[in-house]
Structure 1
């Protein structure tokens, strides 16, 4: 009994010190339990709970944590036949496919996954269910939820994880709920969770491609974080335009499903695939438009595909090799840059009075950051004199100091040849006395 008590006390202390994430008060970014700004760097692992075993999950979490990721997006009732094909332990999540009858053995497995993530300093952005269980449209389904059993299932989930600090709830699941019944089902699930976890956990919604959560659930009081999906239809998606349409000064937002690395464009291999440059352009375009972080995705990883396993849409790289993909490894440099320049103080299009082609800017009293998706020489006028100017390389994370005439508010940037026709960030340290 003493041993059990000591273990329990240790777990309580460990949980109390873990950074539970929530929106900052009246600010468009996230903070931990101490109020420290939290830059969301997520990875997409929708099928992790359903398709991996303990050893594989431990290896996956260890790798992603080492690469700088701090949020893992996954699903309790998975998309790929999650109600009819058992997990690696041979368990299905629901008894008789009834949301009011969750299978305890399966959810003990979910418990272990969430606690394992916590040991690796990872948040779990948990979808209680994929959207096809509420609204079919495509996929296997079956549709099993209605407002009554959605509330009961939400109650079950809310009570179960009310003391688990590394949970962020994500409703929706790649569906735009449009009918009164569909919206009532989502709202009932949210209500069930919030009423039984004492409102402790942040909540968002994962919509279809080209939409933001706020376009679907409107002014729902439970929507803490506005999540977008820009999806897999085109390169250089105008994420900044979508963000400008929905962004509010006091609500954080981010792209929860951009184009995935090694994913076929429009799901058609003959058109081509998204690669590392596409991934970087999507991430920087989003963050430089005001997002509070970013979620990366890889086509082999989201479905945890490996040879001999059913796949969706022309997978060429299995999940283990996907962990070594260039774009995925380069996301940590975005996080590094944002944390070094206090991204939570930066505002889009701030301090720049003239700009060149394809420039996006973020600025504060201390820094001005200029991102180009395809670097070209440019000149511009800024509102403060620079004290230093550097090129930050999104591909390597390295910086190179530029020689400039720093006494002027007019800057001229000439890129070394290696940067031409690829992306780059100009980082300007500002002379605060000149503002």
Structure 2
């Protein structure tokens, strides 16, 4: 049996000066098994950006520009890939280095991974966790796109998992994301490959610094990672990809995972990207707009997700004018950092963290309207005790609410603008009734609102 070089390659860990903005990590799972905390037990709302090509296409100065911007916008997680998607094995990184030294892809290149080390450390100094994918899925098999080559067998996956797991075992700002936009094929060894890679990482874990782990799938039904790995001990929380078509009932996937046993947190790790061709058909359908992205985010979180990932079509691929774009990016990555929703994600995070975090549950019984599952779908969440509720209207309008479950004898309301983060009073008290009619401040596409209801006694 062949011995793989990366099982025995001794790689020194690179230590960096601790920053003033020290992360209280690694992220942990709260005792209710629904949400995340930091290492100090404080609420952690996952607000991630998708930057798959971060380590591959950006040099350190560019990475610093990117991380500074995302930190200023309120992101606390960045999802990126070690063995990247866009010909990540054969096309060198921004420094001219490939991830392996040999044509059999068994001996890691220290210079390549030192670059990864430095960016992970830069992220930590900015209060950002890295959701690290060891590899993109086309290194396991190709499915209509991706250039491979296919290098992972179960044995190689385990060995690489051990090597990369050991290298980053002491990082406090790391979450492992197994997979990479590929669903295991029925009747194949794919499930075993991913399980072996996860096992390799798990066996290197420092018990005092346990890093969480999940799986990044393609769009699939009825769940995402839960379809194959929910019962695996290594899978700490579930992840979905809800795809790049607007108006999909993404909240159904969150609800599916919340019904499973054992209880695990769940979130959407790849929703529709901002400025992405709708359903990959820009000619007929155009590109996604901010309202499409906000609707997905609020739907998912109000359905009980532990947080939400965001993505920009130019940024995930770090597109620039000297590179071939994938699926028609509209402008370079550095000019796409300030898109509308990228500056609005903090409003969702701030809203959720403004209320009791760990007791929040979805509750559609608050909506007394008869609803269709279309882009007008109204979603609701509250805390278990009923001291507050929040209702999201994707396009404003009139709604009927059943407020009998809320506590206290007096209820007050306020409107929250997802576009600006500004709130203002509803202007009247609310009755604890089965059919309370409320009209939003404005109506129509792009006029989404959150109604916040509080018990005042």
Q: TM-score, normalised by structure 1?
A: 0.92
Aligned residues between the structures: 424
- What is residue 264 of structure 1 aligned with on the other side? 277
Match of 1:109 among 92, 115, 129: 115
> Counterpart of 2:197?
189
* Kept in 1: contact 2:230–2:238 (CA 8 A): no
Aligned equivalents of 1:331 and 1:15: distance in 2? Answer: 21
Q: Shift in Å at residue 197 of structure 1?
A: 2.0
Map of 2:251 onto structure 1: 240
Equivalence for 1:225:
237
Counterpart in 1 of 2:296? 282
Look up the match of 1:255. 268
Answering whether residue 225 of structure 2 is matched by residue 213 of structure 1, we say yes
Cα distance in 2 for residues equivalent to 1:10 and 1:139: 38
**Which residue is 2:374 aligned to?**
none
Does 2:221 match 1:202? no
Verify the 8 A CA contact 1:350 1:363 in the aligned structure 2: no
Equivalent of residue 155 in structure 2, options 137, 148, 163: 148
C-alpha RMSD of matched pairs (Å): 2.1
Pick which of 212-221 and 354-363 moved more: 354-363
Query: Which residue is 1:359 aligned to?
Result: 378
Greater alpha carbon shift after TM alignment, 44-53 vs 366-375: 366-375
Q: Name the residue aligned to 1:4.
A: none
TM-score (norm 2): 0.88
Output the CA distance in 2 between the equivalents of 1:371 and 1:327.
Answer: 16
Question: C-alpha separation between the residues in 1 aligned to 2:194 and 2:445?
Answer: 47
Deviation at 1:265, TM superposition (A): 1.1
1:256-307 Cα distance to aligned partner (Å, 9 max, x none): 0000000001212112111100010010011011100000000000000011
Structure 1 residues 98 and 170, CA gap change in structure 2 (3 angstroms):
farther
Q: Secondary structure at the match of 2:184?
A: coil
Report the 3-state secondary structure (helix = DSSP H, G, I; strand = E; otherwise coil) of the residue aligned with 1:174: coil
C-alpha change, 1:25 and 1:405, in structure 2 (3 Å) is closer
Give structure 2 stretches of 5+ with no counterpart.
1-13, 372-376
Shift of 1:401: 0.7
| 2:68 aligned residue | 62
Structure 1 residue 229, shift from structure 2 partner: 0.4
Q: CA deviation at 1:391?
A: 0.9
1:320 pairs with one of 331, 334, 346? 334
Partner Cα separation in structure 1 for residue 16 and residue 151 of structure 2: 39
Paired position in structure 1 for 2:142: 136
* Corresponding residue SS for 1:96: coil
8 Å Cα contact 1:171/1:206 also seen in 2: yes
3-state SS, counterpart of residue 201 of structure 1: coil
Against the structure 1 CA distance between its residues 295 and 353, is the aligned structure 2 distance closer, same or farther, given a 3 Å change threshold?
Answer: closer
Partner in structure 2 of residue 426 of structure 1:
451
* 1:10–1:50 Cα change, 3 Å: closer
Q: 1:25 to 1:408 in 2, by over 3 A?
A: closer
Q: Is the 8 A contact 2:67 2:123 kept in 1?
A: yes
What does residue range 412-423 of structure 1 map to in structure 2 within 5 Å? 412-417=437-442, 422-423=447-448
Contact 2:412 2:429 in 1 (8 A): no
Q: Residues of 1 paired with 2:410 and 2:35: CA distance?
A: 27
Deviation at 1:18, TM superposition (A): 3.1
- Match of 2:440, SS state, is coil
Residues 99, 150 of structure 1: 8 Å contact kept: no
CA contact (8 A) 1:70 1:122 kept: yes
Q: CA deviation at 1:377?
A: 1.2
**Residues of 2 paired with 1:9 and 1:190: CA distance?**
27
Aligned mates of 2:452, 2:243 — CA distance in 1: 29
Write the mapping of 1:80-119 to structure 2, written as runs, cut at 5 A.
Answer: 80-119=86-125
1:15–1:165 contact (8 Å) kept in structure 2: no
Encode CA deviations 1:320-352: one digit per residue, 9 max, x unaligned. 111110011111100010000234321101672
Equivalent position SS for 1:377: strand
- 1:8 to 1:414, Cα distance in 2 relative to 1, 3 A: closer
> In structure 2, how many angstroms separate the alpha carbons of the residues matched to 1:418 and 1:351?
23
